[in-house]
Chains A and B, each alone.
Chain A
């Protein structure tokens, strides 16, 4: 089974025309539904809904409060290797960028972990570029093993793995992973990924499912907004999330809303996404998936992050460095992208408290350490 099959069933639909043809009454209807369907989602992503954001926001805020309360999970990414064999045109780690590459030794991982742990963070997202030869699954296992000593909750954001490899990661202590399809439009995907293993659209599309089958507790997906038409990418990402929820009810499915940021290369987004558009994506996805966790990274500036918070965001990154060694274990590498909100963990936590939210540092740990 694959989500690709689900996508195929929409092949006959002229999505752009459908989205642009939605009227206010379609949006109202979608808003009135307990469980909006795909057609309602199209309405919520339409230009008509774009004029009704306040109404969408009210319901999204209410749903978020009911399901998540005022708790916001904090985490930080830890870049352990920026070697990459791909040529994603939008990325600062692109194999064609001449910058020096760096991979942390396990000792350096430990130093970074110690530094991050002093900030109070307890959930870590381990990131690598896509270079299997340099950072094979064995290396990831070793990194997880080191980090386990410091953090109860470990997530991965690495190249797409096989199901068996995901099972190995779980065994090594990974609670979840994030993997973005970047764009769900296969043609645009091909243009954005002109070289390297990531060219394989189908293998990437099925990665979240393989992770679920392997037994990951938490799986975060999404598009990189700005690569393709954001309305369609937001639609597919949300449909993908619900499909995973339905197939694997035991896994918690999350969405993320990364948006293209300026980076070291010359490439700039072909489909710029305005703040208003990003807000609409968040609202539509929250209304369609009331229980999905939604992450907003430090790609976004402080003010926008704060304003979007009550509308559906449940996870925030904090104290972020997007370069390998960026937490102080020697020379930092080139950043993957520029961080727009560079506040420290304590500043983010203070901001949350100020706004009536509770920063949550720990929300899970492996319990297998207790004698059976």
Chain B
């Protein structure tokens, strides 16, 4: 389905789909393979706190197709230290070396702690993890994440679970312009049109969990998101160079006045 030559590369891995999905909130994890197939998603995030390494079966990981790239996350971590420990455990337990850092010390709004996230990213990137940090759409935090060795930046579109869409649109636009890492819009995307809009703006990928998992028909919703991401991406690629909104330093049309 994806355009043949539009490959998304992250952490040295080539991905055809720019839709990342999640595993939380489903009524039945057994529908995950169908959602993955319908959406075309190749990366799926799983909360390590939900995975029971002592239980031989009955884990969410049993339902994740082997072809998917696992993206364990540190949800539940309240400090950088906890996030680092969770990440190490994930790797030790064979979940690979990708990790989505979530450090949330405010249960009222579930907003990520940028400072702690940067610290955890620095530690884990140095240990060879492919670190994908979930953060507020903040330019300074994003810049520090670049220096800390992040593999991408995952700004929120709106607070987790709100389905409000791209409330942080202008800030994300700045990140897309300024940050030389993949920008993956995470959290808050409630409808396929939201995902489409993020992709059209030039986001490299989106992560959608709640909107798919809590839909009346998650499989069809997964397909809808897959199609929306593709449409948005095509719209972006087809755009007539309108991606830079910042004033250009040179003045091709009025330069003659200075001469």
Contact = CB atoms under 8 A, between A and B. Distances in A.
B108 A246 contact: yes
Contacts of B54: 152
Nearest to A246: B108
Interface residues of B, number: 34
A371 B106 contact: no
Nearest to A70: B27
Given A249-B105, A251-B107, A291-B107, A68 B25 contact: yes
A67 interface: yes
Contacts of B29: 358
B27 A357 contact: yes
B49 A362 contact: yes
B106 to A, nearest CB: 4
Contacts of A217: 78
Given A249-B108, A356-B27, A66 B85 contact: no
B25 A367 contact: no
B76 interface: yes
Best-surrounded residue of B25, B51, B58, B81 (most CB of chain A within 10 A): B25
A48 interface: no
Interface string A329-372: 00000000000000000000000010011101111110111111
A249 B50 contact: no
Contact of B82 (A65, A360, A363, A367): A367
Contacts of B89: 367, 369-370
B175 to A, nearest CB: 26
B108 A363 contact: no
B58 A291 contact: no
Given A367-B82, A367-B85, A362 B50 contact: yes
Given A65-B214, A69-B214, A367 B86 contact: yes
A279 B33 CA distance: 36
B6 interface: no
A136 B25 CA distance: 39
A69 B92 CA distance: 29
Contact of B28 (A291, A358, A361, A371): A358
B162 A66 contact: yes
Given A120-B58, A249-B106, A250-B78, A71 B49 contact: no
Contact of A250 (B50, B58, B84, B105): B105
B27 A358 contact: yes
Given A69-B210, A367-B89, A368-B85, A250 B28 contact: no
Interface in A249-305: 249-253, 291
Nearest to A364: B49
A245 interface: yes
Contacts of B110: 291
Interface string B155-189: 00000011100000000000000000000000000
Given A363-B50, A367-B89, A250 B214 contact: no
A161 B247 CA distance: 62
Given A66-B162, A361-B52, A362-B50, A370 B88 contact: yes
Best-surrounded residue of A67, A252, A357 (most CB of chain B within 10 A): A67
Best-surrounded residue of A68, A69, A71, A367 (most CB of chain B within 10 A): A367
A370 B85 contact: yes
B213 interface: yes
Nearest to A117: B54
Nearest to A69: B25
Interface in B30-75: 49-52, 54-55, 58
B235 interface: no
A250 B85 contact: no
B108 A291 contact: yes
B116 to A, nearest CB: 11
Interface string B79-99: 001101110110010000000
B115 interface: no
B119 to A, nearest CB: 14
Nearest to A249: B106
A253 B163 contact: no
B107 A252 contact: yes
Contacts of A361: 52, 55, 58
Contact of A371 (B24, B25, B81, B88): B88
A122 interface: yes
Contact of A66 (B28, B76, B161): B161
Contacts of B55: 120, 122, 361-362
A69 B162 contact: no
Nearest to A63: B161
Contacts of A367: 82, 85-86, 89
Contacts of B81: 372
A96 to B, nearest CB: 41
Given A69-B213, A291-B107, A371-B88, A360 B50 contact: yes
Pairs of residues from A and B, 3 with the lowest C-beta to C-beta distance, nearest first: A69-B25, A70-B27, A249-B106
Interface of A: 65-71, 120, 122, 152, 217, 245-246, 249-253, 291, 353, 356-358, 360-365, 367-372
5 contacts: A69-B213, A246-B108, A361-B55, A363-B50, A367-B85
Given A70-B26, A367-B82, 19 more contacts: A66-B210, A67-B161, A68-B25, A70-B27, A122-B55, A217-B78, A245-B107, A250-B78, A250-B106, A291-B107, A356-B28, A357-B27, A361-B58, A362-B51, A362-B52, A363-B49, A363-B50, A363-B76, A370-B85
